[in-house]
């Protein structure tokens, strides 16, 4: 990791359906600090509305949310904790 | 010469596996820290119904005669040397190792939780704690009951909602519901994390007047002011708190240390159940970091996959869940899904509730493997439709 780059946590939730990727995101959020970046990989299409609702509730920022075909990739900036 | 299989752990998955292996081909040693085998789903009914059941059996009586049971605690696992070390100083060398070490509660993760649990009890740790919670509910004369999970990792995902619905039922029976507020909090965007099941559950909660606090991830509990605070900045006051504690994997030192995740769950291939980087080591049950529910059915099915694999038959775990869900009022549903199939929405019924109750009665027989033909039939009939063609 380059100097000055915020800690980047990769959360691989591919294959997870119940309770789902939001569980892994919530766990990563518990361990995060302001300034961290969380990258979430998921295959459950429900991840999109869930992460949007999560970001709205927690006040954190979705940098990108991309369906890459084999997986959905969400990058989040942790700006509030 | 028989291959040496060490099974670390003595829960349902470990017991089913130990009994399922061909004992002419495998010399099986189970290492269990307890000789008391607990039927964990009974804790719900002890805590919320005061059920006069004994959910504990002697582990020695649940195992086939040829299984050696070592009453000891695994402290260290040296994977390169193929050795398991125990608290009493035993060193066990193995040809195959199965980690069925489960998970335990860790109230210390949440400031204030240990004090609350000691005072009011809980229904996810021990029989004594479940009985304490029943006493707390008996002593409750009205006010606010707050119930929820304090961490996203939860043993038996339906259990928090089962708890709040049974609390509601109990208060109604005691004519206390009018004088009580019931609050359910959850770290998820909806009361039940899987959306199809939530479509069943949320209207029931609304119908019973149970308030829901979403995205409520417990940060700390202030016992002095009887308040729970969330990471997200919300808070709720309680008179009776019923908190599902955080869970962590077993406290075992591993070599190499990177085969467990930060919560000490063993990093496991979700299909083969092999531990990361190891051909002869498997993990099953709650202690594995599989992306599926922490529930007994997983341990049961995973034990079968490992038994078949060790005996040279092709086998793969498909992530099947089959969690019975008590919705109170004598009705229930099941949470059925897999890695390849979204959770099925099963209409609540008395039959599903009866099936849950039936399983409580046949659990001990299921550990011996005597009911496997019936289970295979059931899991075949109820297999959820796969979301992709050709999925295993």
Q: At what angle do helices B159-173 and B195-207 cross, to 10 degrees?
A: 20
What is the Cα–Cα distance from B223 to B159, expressed in whole angstroms? 24
Low-confidence ranges of chain B (pLDDT < 50): 389-392
- Tell which residue, B202, B87, B106, has the closest CA to residue B149: B106
Q: What is the pLDDT of residue A19?
A: 60
Q: What is the pLDDT of residue A14?
A: 85
Q: What is the pLDDT of residue A22?
A: 85
Would you say residue A16 has pLDDT above 90? no
Chain A, chain B: beta-carbon pairs less than 8 Å apart: 77
Q: What is the pLDDT of residue B389?
A: 43
Q: What is the pLDDT of residue A5?
A: 66
Q: What is the pLDDT of residue A2?
A: 53
SS3 assignment, position B255: strand
Class of domain A8-77: alpha beta
- The ipTM assigned to this model is 0.81
CB B321 to CB A18 under 8 A?
Answer: yes
Q: What is the pLDDT of residue B387?
A: 63
CB A54 to CB B215 under 8 A?
Answer: yes
Q: Which residue is associated with the tokens 């000891």? A: B72
In terms of CA atoms, which chain B residue is nearest residue A29?
A: B231
Which CATH fold topology does B3-102+250-381 show? FAD/NAD(P)-binding domain (3.50.50)
Interface test with A, best of B155, B160, B187, B387 (most A CBs within 10 A): B187
Q: Which residues of A touch B263 (CB under 8 A)?
A: 27
pTM, two decimal places? 0.93
CB B335 to CB A18 under 8 A?
Answer: yes
Q: Is B8 exposed, middle or buried (0-12, 13-18, 19+ CB in 10 A)?
A: buried
Give the pLDDT mean for A25-54. Answer: 91
Can A22 be counted among the known catalytic residues? no
Regarding the domain with residue range B105-247, which homologous superfamily does it belong to in the CATH classification? FAD/NAD(P)-binding domain (3.50.50.60)
Q: Where exactly are the structural domains of chain B?
A: 3-102+250-381, 105-247
Q: Where exactly are the structural domains of chain A?
A: 8-77
The closest CB to that of A18, out of B231, B232, B293, belongs to: B293
Distance of CA B57 to the CA centre of its chain: 18
B223-265 pLDDT, tens per residue? 999 999 998 889 999 999 999 999 999 999 999 999 999 999 9
- Report residue A81's pLDDT band, with 50, 70 and 90 as the boundaries: confident
Are B60 and B35 within 8 A, CB to CB?
yes
Distance of CA B48 to the CA centre of its chain: 18
How many angstroms away from the CA of A15 is the closest CA of chain B?
A: 5
CB A19 to CB B342 under 8 A?
Answer: no
Q: Which residues of A touch B157 (CB under 8 A)?
A: 18-19
How many angstroms away from the CA of B63 is the closest CA of chain A?
A: 32
What is the Cα–Cα distance from A81 to B343, expressed in whole angstroms? 32
CB A53 to CB B189 under 8 A?
Answer: yes
What is the Cα–Cα distance from A27 to A38, expressed in whole angstroms? 11
CB A18 to CB B157 under 8 A?
Answer: yes
User: What counts of helices (H) and strands (E) characterise chain A?
Assistant: 2, 4
Are B43 and B123 within 8 A, CB to CB?
yes
- Whole-number average pLDDT of chain A: 87
- Report residue A15's pLDDT band, with 50, 70 and 90 as the boundaries: confident
Q: Active-site residue among A18, A68, A69, A70?
A: A18
């Amino acid at each position: 990791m380059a100097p000055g780059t915020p800690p980047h946590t990769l959360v691989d939730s591919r294959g997870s359906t119940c309770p789902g990727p939001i569980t892994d995101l919530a766990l990563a959020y518990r361990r995060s600090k302001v300034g961290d970046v969380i990258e979430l990989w998921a295959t459950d299409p429900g991840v999109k509305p869930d992460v949007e609702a999560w970001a709205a509730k927690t006040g954190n920022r979705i940098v990108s949310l991309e369906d890459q075909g084999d997986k959905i990739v969400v990058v989040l900036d942790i700006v509030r904790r | 010469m028989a291959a040496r299989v060490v099974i670390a752990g003595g829960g349902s998955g470990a017991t089913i596996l130990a009994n399922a292996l061909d004992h002419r081909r495998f010399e099986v040693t189970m290492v269990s820290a307890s000789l008391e085998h607990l039927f964990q789903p009974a804790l719900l009914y002890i805590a919320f119904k005061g059920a006069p059941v004994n959910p504990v059996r002697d582990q020695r009586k649940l195992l086939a005669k040829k299984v050696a049971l070592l009453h000891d605690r695994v402290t260290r696992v040296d994977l390169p040397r193929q050795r398991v070390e125990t608290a009493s100083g035993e060193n066990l060398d193995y040809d195959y190792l199965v980690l069925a070490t489960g998970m335990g509660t860790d109230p210390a993760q949440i400031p204030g939780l240990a004090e609350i649990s000691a005072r009011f009890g809980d229904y996810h740790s021990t029989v004594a704690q479940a009985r304490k919670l029943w006493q707390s509910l008996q002593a409750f004369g009205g006010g606010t009951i707050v119930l929820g999970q304090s961490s996203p990792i939860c043993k038996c995902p339906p259990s928090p909602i089962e708890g709040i619905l049974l609390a509601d039922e109990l208060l109604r029976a005691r004519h206390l519901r009018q004088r009580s507020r019931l609050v359910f909090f959850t770290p998820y965007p909806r009361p039940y994390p899987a959306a199809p099941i939530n479509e069943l559950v949320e209207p029931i909660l609304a119908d019973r007047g149970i308030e829901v606090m979403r995205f409520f991830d417990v940060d700390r509990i202030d016992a002095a002011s009887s308040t729970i605070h969330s990471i997200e900045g919300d808070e709720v006051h309680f008179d009776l708190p019923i908190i599902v504690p955080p869970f962590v994997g077993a406290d075992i030192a591993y070599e190499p240390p990177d085969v467990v995740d930060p919560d000490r769950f063993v990093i496991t291939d979700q299909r083969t159940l092999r531990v990361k980087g190891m051909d002869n080591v498997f993990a099953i049950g709650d202690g594995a970091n599989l992306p599926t529910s922490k529930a007994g059915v997983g341990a049961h099915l995973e034990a079968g996959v490992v038994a078949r694999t060790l005996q040279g038959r092709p086998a793969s775990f498909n992530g099947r869940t089959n969690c019975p869900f008590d919705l109170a009022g004598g009705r229930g549903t099941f949470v059925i899904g897999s890695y390849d199939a979204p959770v099925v929405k099963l209409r609540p019924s008395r039959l599903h509730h009866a099936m849950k109750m039936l399983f409580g009665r046949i659990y001990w027989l299921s550990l011996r493997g005597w009911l496997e033909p019936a289970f295979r039939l059931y899991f075949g009939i109820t297999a959820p439709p796969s979301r992709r063609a050709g999925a295993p």
